[in-house]
Chain A
């Protein structure tokens, strides 16, 4: 039994008694890829944790290993060493406690399925039809897709397709939402709308969110805490608390003086990290 088994979308996640206890713990995760050229360590000793309801953004220069750490957390690949714990249990493979939103919505949704069927897919064989229908309906309501139930993904705009993917992860009912650059391939206005959607979802459902992004402004706008990755192999360069509280507004929050200070700070960190990376480029070890 996990806490995911007890919740339906729209309700608040009932979490273990201590709200300050970490929900996700990444403990000393290292990851090496083995290719024909040899073995290359991409991540070294990554540790951070995420509390219930917390919104954590992971940023870092391109190619630093953000997708790698996300796939390790999602259980889509095994870390070379270290462990990921969710709600106190070490993960071995994909878990019911994590709902995933992929960057490439056009590939992650099934084009032949209606919006409803896409959202319902992970729930099939797990619950009664009535419960499934209820979860799908409330997830679609949450992301603002009521009225598009019978459309196919390819009939929708990019932003709406990503909403379908978010609804699918919501309906899955996991206490943790994991997103890899979910808004990277939509236009600026849609992106702002989806950012606000992500914040609202967290506030409504009480899920913890781990979101990977290239965009420093996006990270500061969304996050309660930013984890900056850097180096080759990558490790956590710094963790930065963002003190803006759960309610944010694009124009207001981004105009705060503190927002500007945080932006300059994260910028410098990432610049230093990428300079360090290009400096020590050939990190291929023969195996």
Chain B
């Protein structure tokens, strides 16, 4: 009962929009806006499974690699910076400066230095996605309750215990909120970075279709990207729930 109600509440708008799209485009002869029915059949033909294997999987692999490195880097640096206020005071202006620079603006430099391969794409994702994780981790560690710090000190916890058993888990809810933002950034950046000199990848597919006037194909790429983004977000929510299972309920997102 409640599951059906929640599904209705979550899905009525997307379903309505898809229906609107379907009927409004049904008799379309415009080159740019093909009927949704055509897009659906083209999606079946193209993405089950040829382009999924050739384009989508490499994109996902690079994206997850970049996101993984960004998360590891952001958490590690954030734990250190959050733990030492004087270090933070030294690095904070630099962090603010770099963060303000859009990662896309790094793209030309990254291509010059790293060429057009996967390492350039992963690098750009890391550079764009590391900030929300770093900033959230730093803020969370700085905000750890003074009593918790007293516990660390009074019981003379080892450095490993302080960082891995106390500060990391104490910061985890905020870290995950940062990783969620980093996930959206990564999806955007993998698409953009593949529009430059990539032979495969969903970004390459989108741009190549558009350049070849295969507009229906281009639309299928966008549909697939939409589903992938939505799927990743759902997967992330499951992971978040699992990781925060041991935490007091009010620290979980309200839903």
A residues lining the B interface (CB < 8 Å)? 74-76, 93-96, 98-100, 102, 104, 107-108, 110-114, 121-122, 124-125, 152, 154, 168, 172
- Residues of A contacting B31 in the complex (Cβ-Cβ under 8 angstroms): none
- Is the pair B160, A125 in contact by a Cβ cutoff of 8 Å? yes
The reply on B153 being an interface residue by CB < 8 A is yes
Per-residue interface assignment for chain B, residues 144 to 169, with 1 indicating a CB less than 8 Å from any chain A CB and 0 otherwise? 01011011011111101100011001
- Is the pair B147, A112 in contact by a Cβ cutoff of 8 Å? no
Alpha-carbon gap, A74 to B156, bound state (A):
11
- Is the pair B246, A122 in contact by a Cβ cutoff of 8 Å? no
Alpha-carbon gap, A200 to B147, bound state (A):
27
- Is the pair B169, A100 in contact by a Cβ cutoff of 8 Å? no
Which 5 A/B pairs are nearest by Cβ-Cβ distance? A122-B155, A107-B147, A154-B248, A100-B154, A125-B158
A276 shortest CB reach to chain B, Å: 31
- Is the pair A100, B248 in contact by a Cβ cutoff of 8 Å? no
- Residues of B contacting A113 in the complex (Cβ-Cβ under 8 angstroms): 165, 169, 246
Alpha-carbon gap, A190 to B152, bound state (A):
27
Q: Among B155, B158, B165, B251, which residue has its beta carbon within 8 angstroms of that of A172? A: B155
Q: Which B residues from 202 to 255 make CB contacts under 8 A with A? A: 246-248, 251
- Is the pair B165, A121 in contact by a Cβ cutoff of 8 Å? yes
The reply on B67 being an interface residue by CB < 8 A is no
- Residues of A contacting B246 in the complex (Cβ-Cβ under 8 angstroms): 111-114, 152
The reply on B170 being an interface residue by CB < 8 A is yes
- Residues of B contacting A104 in the complex (Cβ-Cβ under 8 angstroms): 147
Which interface residue of A75, A95, A108, A112 has the most chain B CB atoms within 10 A? A112
- Residues of B contacting A76 in the complex (Cβ-Cβ under 8 angstroms): 150, 153-154
B49 shortest CB reach to chain A, Å: 41
Which interface residue of B145, B148, B246 has the most chain A CB atoms within 10 A? B246
With A94-B155, A102-B150 given, is the CB distance from A111 to B247 under 8 Å? yes
Alpha-carbon gap, A111 to B147, bound state (A):
13
Q: Which B residues from 134 to 152 make CB contacts under 8 A with A? A: 145, 147-148, 150-151
- Is the pair A108, B147 in contact by a Cβ cutoff of 8 Å? yes
- Is the pair A110, B170 in contact by a Cβ cutoff of 8 Å? yes
B57 shortest CB reach to chain A, Å: 35
A44 shortest CB reach to chain B, Å: 25
- Is the pair A100, B147 in contact by a Cβ cutoff of 8 Å? no
* A98 to chain B: closest residue by CB: B154
- Is the pair B156, A94 in contact by a Cβ cutoff of 8 Å? yes
Q: Is the interface of A mostly helix, strand, loop or mixed?
A: loop
Alpha-carbon gap, A152 to B246, bound state (A):
7
- Residues of A contacting B165 in the complex (Cβ-Cβ under 8 angstroms): 110, 113, 121, 124
* B243 to chain A: closest residue by CB: A112
Query: Given A110-B148, A110-B166, A121-B165, 15 more contacts at CB 8 Å?
Result: A75-B153, A76-B154, A96-B156, A102-B151, A107-B147, A108-B148, A111-B251, A112-B170, A121-B155, A121-B157, A122-B157, A124-B157, A124-B158, A124-B160, A124-B165
Alpha-carbon gap, A160 to B246, bound state (A):
18
Alpha-carbon gap, A99 to B246, bound state (A):
26
- Is the pair A112, B247 in contact by a Cβ cutoff of 8 Å? yes
- Residues of B contacting A95 in the complex (Cβ-Cβ under 8 angstroms): 156
* B159 to chain A: closest residue by CB: A125
Alpha-carbon gap, A172 to B151, bound state (A):
12
- Residues of A contacting B147 in the complex (Cβ-Cβ under 8 angstroms): 102, 104, 107-108
- Residues of B contacting A154 in the complex (Cβ-Cβ under 8 angstroms): 248
Alpha-carbon gap, A85 to B153, bound state (A):
18
B140 shortest CB reach to chain A, Å: 13
- Residues of B contacting A102 in the complex (Cβ-Cβ under 8 angstroms): 147, 150-151
- Is the pair B145, A107 in contact by a Cβ cutoff of 8 Å? yes
- Residues of B contacting A152 in the complex (Cβ-Cβ under 8 angstroms): 246, 248
Alpha-carbon gap, A99 to B155, bound state (A):
7
* B153 to chain A: closest residue by CB: A94
* A125 to chain B: closest residue by CB: B158
- Residues of B contacting A93 in the complex (Cβ-Cβ under 8 angstroms): 153
- Residues of B contacting A94 in the complex (Cβ-Cβ under 8 angstroms): 153-156
- Residues of B contacting A111 in the complex (Cβ-Cβ under 8 angstroms): 246-248, 251
- Residues of B contacting A168 in the complex (Cβ-Cβ under 8 angstroms): 155
Alpha-carbon gap, A181 to B148, bound state (A):
17
Alpha-carbon gap, A95 to B154, bound state (A):
7
- Residues of A contacting B145 in the complex (Cβ-Cβ under 8 angstroms): 107
B79 shortest CB reach to chain A, Å: 16
- Residues of A contacting B156 in the complex (Cβ-Cβ under 8 angstroms): 94-96, 122
Alpha-carbon gap, A108 to B150, bound state (A):
8
Which interface residue of B154, B156, B165, B248 has the most chain A CB atoms within 10 A? B154
